[in-house]
Amino acid sequence: MKNAEMKVEGNTNTPNAKVETNEKRSFDVPFFPMQQIFRGIAEQGVVRAKDNYEKMTAASGEMADILRETCSTNARVAADYGVKVMEISGVNSNSAFDFLTKLMDTKSLSEVIQLSATQSRQNFEVTSAQSRELWELARKGVSETAEPIKKGFTRILQKAS
């Protein structure tokens, strides 16, 4: 082969090559398959979004049911607590009237002091027992209210993930 017969071609696709204004560069990727790829990606996104929306709708419905049940439990517990407070109030009022009746029947200062000491000891014992009852009722109410929320939300969050 002679030097005159050799053909030299230059690489015009170099990154530093300048593009003439009348010269157009084009990608070697056809336009139509790109549309199909983007359409497929968009359709997958729509399917995922719809699926997530349905999951969230179901989860929020379950959460609303749990909260509704919890509110009714809380209302029942509050009513029970209120009834217990009124019951205790009635017992304490009767005890106070009984004490005043006995106090009016006393004839000496020593009887008044002895009756007052006995009444004070009884009041302390009764008040301690009443406080324990109210505390237990409150603890039970909190437990009955909080446990369904805890279990329900845990179950819902596990389903959603």
Query: Could you write out the three-class secondary structure of 14-74?
Result: CCCCCCCCCCCCCCCCCHHHHHHHHHHHHHHHHHHHHHHHHHHHHHHHHHHHHHHHHHHHH
**What local confidence, expressed as pLDDT, does residue 152 receive?**
82
pLDDT tens digits, 34-92: 777 788 888 888 889 888 888 888 888 888 888 888 888 889 999 999 999 999 999 99
pLDDT of 148 reads 83
pTM of the model: 0.60
Query: Can you tell me the distance from the alpha carbon of 108 to that of 114, in angstroms, rounded to the nearest whole number?
Result: 10
